[in-house]
Amino acid sequence: MPRDDLPVLEMRGISKTFGPVRALEDVSFTAWAGEIHALMGENGAGKSTLMKILGGILKPDRGGEIRLGGAPLHLEGPKAAHAAGIVVIHQELALAPNLTVAENIFLGEEMHRFGRIDRAAMNRAARPLLERLGAPFAPTDVVGRLPLAARQMVEIARALAARARVLVMDEPTTALSERETEKLFTLIEGLRDEGLAIIYISHRMAEIDRLADRVSVLRDGRYVGTLTRAEADHARIVSLMVGRDVASFYKKDHAAKPARAEVLLEVRDVADGGRVRGCSFTVHAGEVVGIAGLVGAGRSELARAVCGISRRTRGEVWLEGRRIDPASPAAAIAAGLVYLTEDRKADGVHLDMSIHENVVLATLSRHARLGVRGLAAERARAREAIARLAIRTPHERLKVRALSGGNQQKVLLARLLETRPRVLFLDEPTRGIDVGAKSEIYRLIDALAAEGLGIVVISSELPEVIGIADRILVMRDGRIAGELHAGPGAPVTQEAIMAIITGTGTKAEAHAA
Ligand X SMILES: Nc1ncnc2c1ncn2[C@@H]1O[C@H](COP(=O)(O)OP(=O)(O)OP(=O)(O)O)[C@@H](O)[C@H]1O
1-19: burial string, b at 16+ Cβ within 10 Å, e else: eeeeebbbbbbeebbbeee
Question: Bridge-partner residues for 86, per DSSP?
Answer: 166
Task: Give one DSSP letter per residue of 324-390, joined into a string.
Answer: ---SSHHHHHHHTEEEE-S-HHHHS--TTSBHHHHHHGGGTTTS-SSSHHHHHHHHHHHHHHHHHTT
Q: Is 226 in the site for ligand X (CB under 6 A)?
A: no
Least separation in angstroms between CB 353 and ligand X: 14
Q: Is 47 in the site for ligand X (CB under 6 A)?
A: yes
Query: 402 contacts which partner out of Mg ion, ligand X, none, CB within 5 to 8 A by kind?
Result: ligand X
Q: Is 7 in the site for ligand X (CB under 6 A)?
A: no
CB 197 within 8 A of CB 8: yes
> Is 89 or 289 the residue whose CB approaches ligand X more closely?
89
Q: Which amino acid is at 371?
A: G
Taking the CB of residue 470, how many other CB atoms lie within 10 A of it?
21
Q: Which of 307, 312, 386, 401 is nearest to 348 (CA)?
A: 401
Query: 44 contacts which partner out of ligand X, Mg ion, none, CB within 5 to 8 A by kind?
Result: ligand X
Report the alpha-carbon distance of residue 50 to residue 368 in Å, rounded: 42
What backbone phi and psi angles, to 5 degrees, belong to 186?
-60, -40
> Is 35 or 434 the residue whose CB approaches ligand X more closely?
434
Q: Which of residues 375-414 bind ligand X (CB under 6 A)?
A: 392, 402-407
> Is 23 or 496 the residue whose CB approaches ligand X more closely?
23
Among 44, 329, 336, 467, binds ligand X (CB under 6 A): 44
Report the alpha-carbon distance of residue 167 to residue 133 in Å, rounded: 15
Among 15, 30, 48, 226, binds ligand X (CB under 6 A): 48
Q: Which of residues 117-136 bind ligand X (CB under 6 A)?
A: none
Least separation in angstroms between CB 388 and ligand X: 18
Residues that bind Mg ion in the complex, under the rule CB under 5 A: 48, 91, 405
Site string for ligand X, 15-34 (x = CB under 6 A): ---x--x-x-----------
Question: Bridge-partner residues for 279, per DSSP?
Answer: 270
Least separation in angstroms between CB 49 and Mg ion: 8
> Is 48 or 459 the residue whose CB approaches ligand X more closely?
48
> Is 405 or 421 the residue whose CB approaches Mg ion more closely?
405
Contact residues: ligand X, CB under 6 A: 18, 21, 23, 41, 43-49, 91, 392, 402-407, 434
